[in-house]
Structure 1
């Protein structure tokens, strides 16, 4: 019998820089999450400042991971993972299916759908109580201040002696938003700006 000859594997197409950057960010995040979990498991009550500091670190690391993913997104979108023939598929079947999975896991899909359904049901502009409260606050705040000394554009022109054509303020184009209130609220709650 002849010994099996191993064919050399070409690693030139592997995005080593991107994968190493992601591995570093994920290792840092995993370490911080483990530390936070250990603080929660501590029988003595952890001081809130310590928890807040740890959460701040985790949020910073999540931001760093997100920016790393976006900076290498073009490389990662083109990269295809596949096992080598020598990979022990029978012993590592679970790991292999997890690594090659392209769809989100069912629980992640469920979280996304739940979040979407909760946030789309809430439309702030339809809430009359909040609208009435905001109007009351505006009137109350306006009454606290003495607004004097302001002039309209027409009064300023007359005071300066400008002989420009009289412009009616009502004729000026109103500033219009290219997004509706619902679209703005949807963006604020879901991060989605589709029209």
Structure 2
């Protein structure tokens, strides 16, 4: 099941982001320690993103167990432009892969949300060393824009092996959205 998050979800959002920070801190942009120090009000604000007009927060939840399998968020604009930006992407390791469809379903939901806002592109930032994520985004129509950022923008001193962040974008035209007929 896919659904927007709401304020009452804050304990689950917190638990899920702690899992994310444990599995891959660069993707969450916070260390485990930083994540654990976020106050309850901060988690409530994050959970409310699914209820706001200029943000969205989608959770993929196992119908039988209620376990959260993945989450993607987006917002209208950032410091680099007014276009929608994909943020907060995390899928649990056992739910990753094409055969599971979790990531694809979440992305389709975000693309639909962004496309409904009369926008023409969706942007994202991905870690340079995150080859599986970059491959996934490329397979789904994202291309590098040429913009990069140092990991210091996340508030941390990068390790030399970390690389940086790469901006990617994809069109939101009707024929580029999931389910559109191929030409």
Q: Aligning the two structures, in what range does the TM-score lie when normalised by the shorter sequence?
A: under 0.3
More strand by share: 2
Which of 1 and 2 has greater Rg?
1
More helix by share: 1
TM-score of the superposed pair, with normalisation by structure 1: 0.20
TM-score of the superposed pair, with normalisation by structure 2: 0.21
